[in-house]
């Protein structure tokens, strides 16, 4: 017997969630009419992801497992990344959000990568690339005795391909482009998005090395290397280059930076290859041809009567790891190489959303030392329980095939089913579906206008704020409007001070607070943490430099900043700016 399939059978489904699901996630006929309800969609996903259990256990109770998965999703305690919700049990069947593709230094390899990108974008995935292997512009090309175009001109080809595909009606293609700091074209790369006209389908990050960071600290020159032959072909002053990166980021948020040596220090399978790139939003370092499927616990759902329900969280982690490992089996990969690499490492990325909600429910201000301490505790718990769950799965299903030679392969060590278990994703869309705050971000605003998916505009009041306002008797339409105009509650006297202290937003807290929180979660995350460090429009270049340095000093794997109003288009803005 199937469960009820009317939308009403998911009591917590918000209006915004329904809009998002109807627009892009539900099966539709050729005329665009929905062929399923949200409940049908979750049932479709639950059944498809439960099915692989039969491969490992002939007697597996698939029905009961599907019910567990269904309940976990429809209570919004856990959601997988968007492609799993969209594609599980459907013709496309591509379930991962994150891919990294190699870009080799030949026409064949470059245009193979363009084609692979097209296939991935069509299926709703995002792609990351390192362009560091491409010889610089104006270098020799022996086959034609001409000169090379360089990484930047090829990036435009990828950008155009993405623009043209726009993911066939599911979601827009996203790319990450990375160039090593010692690539001869690095200065042009740093400036490549300065005019905000080009490479709009790319996020860009400079790949920094420890060697470079030391040269910055010592104010020294560092070597540029031609990737064609590895030979030194110039030097630059490290501090000046670093300052240029900072200045550009201050101008319009890009480039971000990633710390390559840190990504490789935590590379679980160094014997298989070096990590050169991450996925588009930076949270998932991957080897070439690897893909990863993500999923997030919604932390607000684990607060019961003012305290954290650890038992329930543990159960959900176990089920989520099981779910994500099954996704690898159920997945229909766009390329054989990706199938093989993903099966060999079996990376999964369990993370969180609703962190700000959890803090609000516990009455802890986001920017307090207590919040940082709790962040570490929560993520340590999820990471440890997640690893235990992966070990349990390995007992029944075997280790990931590349286990031998991996960082886990030590004397007396327990097998692991997955080369990585945890990742903190941005949860841009699934947090709308779950009606939660996104990732580990503070609230963007207590009331705001959200532009999603091709300019669908939604006005929202934070649901927890609305509830508190009603309970404490200071709710009024007029006040909500005032807050919407203001964006923050920090200086609205009608609101009790303790409420104002807890409902802090991204702009009420300092960049340091943002980075301390990112670093707290990074400490117990196998992969990386997606986080934007927000600055007020009035921030100085030096403020941004200090934040980049702090991210480096506090063990972050990368950092992305955004100064309010510094880009022509913003995804999120308070209604004041509209």
Catalytic residues: 279, 281, 283
Between 6 and 456, name the residue whose CB sits nearer to ligand UDP.
Answer: 456
Between 23 and 482, name the residue whose CB sits nearer to ligand UDP.
Answer: 23
For ligand UDP, the binding residue among 181, 258, 352, 425 (CB under 6 A) is: 425
Smallest CA-to-CA distance from 202 within 165, 179, 175 is with 175
Least Å distance, CB 456 to ligand UDP, is 13
Binding status of residue 558 toward ligand UDP by CB under 6 A: no
Site string for ligand UDP, 283-302 (x = CB under 6 A): x----------x--------
Least Å distance, CB 108 to ligand UDP, is 25
For ligand UDP, the binding residue among 430, 446, 469, 528 (CB under 6 A) is: 430
SS3 of residue 494 by DSSP: coil
For ligand UDP, the binding residue among 38, 177, 227, 280 (CB under 6 A) is: 280
Phi-psi region of 515 (alpha: psi -120 to 50; beta: other; left: phi over 0): alpha
In DSSP terms, 277 is beta-bridged to 286
For ligand UDP, the binding residue among 20, 51, 98, 224 (CB under 6 A) is: 98
d(CA 529, CA 439): 9
Least Å distance, CB 126 to ligand UDP, is 2
d(CA 185, CA 195): 18
Range in contact with ligand UDP (rule: CB under 6 A) among 33-41, 234-242, 356-364, 419-427: 419-427
Tell me how many degrees the CA angle 562-348-264 measures, rounded to the nearest 5.
65
Between 166 and 198, name the residue whose CB sits nearer to ligand UDP.
Answer: 166
Least Å distance, CB 80 to ligand UDP, is 8
In DSSP terms, 179 is beta-bridged to 206
Least Å distance, CB 442 to ligand UDP, is 17
For ligand UDP, the binding residue among 300, 428, 442, 511 (CB under 6 A) is: 428
Least Å distance, CB 240 to ligand UDP, is 31
48-77 binders of ligand UDP (CB under 6 A): none
Binding status of residue 81 toward ligand UDP by CB under 6 A: yes
Tell me the pairing of strands 202-208 and 175-180: parallel
Binding status of residue 97 toward ligand UDP by CB under 6 A: yes
Instruction: Tell me the H-state helices in 331-450.
Output: 336-345, 355-362, 369-397, 430-434
Binding status of residue 426 toward ligand UDP by CB under 6 A: yes
Binding status of residue 256 toward ligand UDP by CB under 6 A: no
Minimal CB distance residue for ligand UDP: 126
Contact yes or no for 79/86 (Cβ under 8 A): no
DSSP assignment of 541-558 equals HHHHHHHHHHHHHTT-SE
Instruction: Tell me the H-state helices in 184-237.
Output: 186-191, 210-217
Between 280 and 365, name the residue whose CB sits nearer to ligand UDP.
Answer: 280
Helix (H) or strand (E) holding 457: strand 456-461
Binding status of residue 429 toward ligand UDP by CB under 6 A: yes
Q: Using the 8-state DSSP alphabet, how is residue 419 labeled?
A: S
Least Å distance, CB 171 to ligand UDP, is 4
Binding status of residue 20 toward ligand UDP by CB under 6 A: no
Least Å distance, CB 122 to ligand UDP, is 12
Least Å distance, CB 395 to ligand UDP, is 30
Binding status of residue 82 toward ligand UDP by CB under 6 A: yes
Range in contact with ligand UDP (rule: CB under 6 A) among 250-258, 379-387, 428-436, 551-559: 428-436
Between 167 and 447, name the residue whose CB sits nearer to ligand UDP.
Answer: 167
Query: Please, which contacts does 446-450 make with residues 24 or more away whose CB atoms are closer than 8 Å?
Result: 446/483, 446/487, 446/488, 446/489, 446/503, 446/505, 447/480, 447/483, 447/484, 447/487, 447/574, 447/575, 448/484, 448/487, 448/572, 448/573, 448/574, 448/575, 449/573, 449/574, 449/575, 449/578, 450/571, 450/572
For ligand UDP, the binding residue among 10, 134, 281, 374 (CB under 6 A) is: 281
Least Å distance, CB 491 to ligand UDP, is 31
For ligand UDP, the binding residue among 24, 43, 171, 507 (CB under 6 A) is: 171
For ligand UDP, the binding residue among 48, 74, 279, 525 (CB under 6 A) is: 279
Tell me the pairing of strands 558-563 and 532-535: parallel
DSSP assignment of 100-156 equals EE---SSHHHHHHHHHHHHHHHHTT-EEEEE-TTSPPTT-EETTTTEE---HHHHHH
Count of residues engaged in binding ligand UDP, rule: CB under 6 A? 20
Binding status of residue 203 toward ligand UDP by CB under 6 A: no
Q: Is 549 exposed, middle or buried (0-12, 13-18, 19+ CB in 10 A)?
A: middle
d(CA 251, CA 247): 6
Contact yes or no for 130/103 (Cβ under 8 A): yes
Range in contact with ligand UDP (rule: CB under 6 A) among 59-67, 280-288, 502-510, 570-578: 280-288
For ligand UDP, the binding residue among 38, 52, 126, 150 (CB under 6 A) is: 126
Range in contact with ligand UDP (rule: CB under 6 A) among 328-336, 424-432, 512-520, 542-550: 424-432
Binding status of residue 427 toward ligand UDP by CB under 6 A: yes
For ligand UDP, the binding residue among 26, 39, 65, 174 (CB under 6 A) is: 174
Smallest CA-to-CA distance from 267 within 250, 285, 254 is with 285
- In the Cβ-directed half-sphere of 268, how many Cα atoms lie within 13 Å? 26
φ, ψ for residue 289, nearest 5 deg: 75, 5
List of residues contacting ligand UDP (CB under 6 A): 81-82, 97-98, 125-126, 171-172, 174, 279-281, 283, 294, 425-430
């Amino acid at each position: 017997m199937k469960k009820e399939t009317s939308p009403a059978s998911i009591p917590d489904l918000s209006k915004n969630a329904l809009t998002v699901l109807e627009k892009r996630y539900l099966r539709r006929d050729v005329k665009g009419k929905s062929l399923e309800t949200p409940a049908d969609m979750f049932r479709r996903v639950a059944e498809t992801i439960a099915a692989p259990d039969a491969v490992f256990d002939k007697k597996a109770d698939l029905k009961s497992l599907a019910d567990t998965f269904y309940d976990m999703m429809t209570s919004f305690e856990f959601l997988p990344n968007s492609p799993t919700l969209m594609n599980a049990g459907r013709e496309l069947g591509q379930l991962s959000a994150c891919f990294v593709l190699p870009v080799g230094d030949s026409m064949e390899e470059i245009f193979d990568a363009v084609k692979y990108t097209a296939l991935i974008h069509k299926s709703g995935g995002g792609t990351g690339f390192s362009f560091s292997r491409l010889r610089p512009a104006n270098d020799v090309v022996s086959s034609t005795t001409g000169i090379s175009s360089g990484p930047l001109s090829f990036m435009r080809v990828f950008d155009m391909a993405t623009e043209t595909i726009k993911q066939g009606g599911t979601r827009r293609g996203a790319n990450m482009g990375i160039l090593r700091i010692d690539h001869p074209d690095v200065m042009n790369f740093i400036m490549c998005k300065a005019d905000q006209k080009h490479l709009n389908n790319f996020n860009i990050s400079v790949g920094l090395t420890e060697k470079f960071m030391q040269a910055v600290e010592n104010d020294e020159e560092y070597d540029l290397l031609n990737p064609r032959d590895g030979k030194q072909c110039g030097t630059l002053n490290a501090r000046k280059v670093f300052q240029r990166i900072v200045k550009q980021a201050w101008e319009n948020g890009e480039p971000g930076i990633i710390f390559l040596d840190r990504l490789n220090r935590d590379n679980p399978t160094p014997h298989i290859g070096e990590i050169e790139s991450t996925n588009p939003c930076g949270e998932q370092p991957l080897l070439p041809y690897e893909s990863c499927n993500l999923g997030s616990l919604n932390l607000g759902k684990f607060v019961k009567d003012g305290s954290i329900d650890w038992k329930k969280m543990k159960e959900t982690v176990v089920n989520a790891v099981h779910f994500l490992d099954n996704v690898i089996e159920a997945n229909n990969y766009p390329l054989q190489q990706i199938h093989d690499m993903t099966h060999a490492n079996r990376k999964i990325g369990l993370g969180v959303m609703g962190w700000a909600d959890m803090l609000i429910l516990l009455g802890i201000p986001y920017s307090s030392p207590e919040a940082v301490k709790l962040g570490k505790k929560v993520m340590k718990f999820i990471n440890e329980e997640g690893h235990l769950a992966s070990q349990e799965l390995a007992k029944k299903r075997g280790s990931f095939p590349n286990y031998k030679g991996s960082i886990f392969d030590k004397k007396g060590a327990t097998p692991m089913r997955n080369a990585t278990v945890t990742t903190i994703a941005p949860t841009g869309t699934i947090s709308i579906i779950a009606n939660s705050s996104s990732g580990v971000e503070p609230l963007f605003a207590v009331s705001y206008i959200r532009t999603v998916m091709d300019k669908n505009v939604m006005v929202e009041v934070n649901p927890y704020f609305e509830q508190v306002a009603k309970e404490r008797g200071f709710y009024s339409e007029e006040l909500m409007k005032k807050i919407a105009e203001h964006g923050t509650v920090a200086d609205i006297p009608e609101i009790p001070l303790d409420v104002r202290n807890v409902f802090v937003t991204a702009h009420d807290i300092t960049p340091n607070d943002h980075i301390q929180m990112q670093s707290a979660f990074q400490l117990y995350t196998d992969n990386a943490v997606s986080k934007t460090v927000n600055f007020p429009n009035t921030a100085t270049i030096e403020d941004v430099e200090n934040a980049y340095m702090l991210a480096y000093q506090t063990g972050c794997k990368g950092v992305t900043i955004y100064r309010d109003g510094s880009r022509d288009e913003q995804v999120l803005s308070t209604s004041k700016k509209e």
